[in-house]
């Protein structure tokens, strides 16, 4: 079974992020920087937990410490949660959400993830957001 996040069951397909190969090589740094700034602005306004931020030209990945931090994101931003297959006693939970709409009408996809031990209690808010 694959552990690739894009192979998670219930993968969200309603939004097609800009494929990396369509971002011109000369624009990737600019797109990455724009996305980083958009997410940092969101974090400044909301104080959501985000100990690890990895911006990219098509989305920004945020890794949080635990399921409680992920719940803060779910409650504040909404979105869909994907759950990986169990691997070595752990499942990865990934929230797919977006920044607020910018002046040009675009939004930045934000993927917030954390590892959860198999059998750990998961809040109803997160269970309800899991993509089926």
What are the pLDDT digits (tens) for 23-71?
666 788 899 999 999 999 999 999 999 999 999 999 999 999 999 999 9
- Per-residue pLDDT, 28: 85
| Residue 15 within a domain | no
Rounded mean pLDDT of 86-91? 95
In a domain, 5, yes or no: no
Confirm whether 118 is domain-assigned.
Answer: yes
- For residue 2, tell me if it sits in a domain: no
| φ, ψ (nearest 5 deg) of residue 57 | -70, -20
Of the listed ranges 9-18, 34-43, 98-107, 108-117, the one predicted with least confidence: 9-18
Q: Does any domain span residue 52?
A: yes
Q: Output 22 or 72, whichever has higher pLDDT.
A: 72
Instruction: Tell me the β-bridge partners of 53.
Output: 62
User: What would the two tokens of residue 63 be?
Assistant: 């890794």
Q: Please state, in angstroms and rounded to a whole number, the distance separating the CA atoms of residues 55 and 68.
A: 23
Give the Cβ contact number of residue 76 at 10 Å: 13
Number of domains into which the chain is organized: 1
Determine, yes or no, domain membership for 75.
Answer: yes
**Helix H or strand E encompassing 129:** helix 124-129
Position 26 in a domain: yes
Would you say residue 3 lies in a domain? no
Q: For residue 79, what are the domain limits?
A: 21-129
Answer for the pair 39, 106: CB distance below 8 angstroms, yes or no: no
Report whether 42 contacts 99 (CB < 8 A).
Answer: yes
């Amino acid at each position: 079974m694959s552990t690739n996040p894009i192979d998670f069951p219930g993968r969200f397909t309603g939004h097609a992020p800009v494929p990396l190969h369509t971002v011109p090589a000369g624009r990737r740094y600019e797109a990455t920087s724009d996305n980083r700034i958009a997410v940092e602005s969101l974090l400044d306004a909301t104080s959501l937990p985000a100990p690890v931020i990895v911006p990219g030209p098509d989305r920004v990945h945020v890794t949080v410490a635990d399921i409680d931090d992920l719940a803060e994101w779910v409650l504040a931003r909404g979105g869909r949660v994907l759950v990986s297959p169990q691997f070595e006693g752990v499942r990865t939970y990934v929230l797919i959400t977006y920044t607020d709409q910018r002046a040009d009408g675009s939004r930045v996809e934000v993927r917030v993830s954390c590892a959860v031990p198999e059998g750990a209690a998961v809040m109803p808010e997160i269970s309800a957001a899991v993509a089926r």
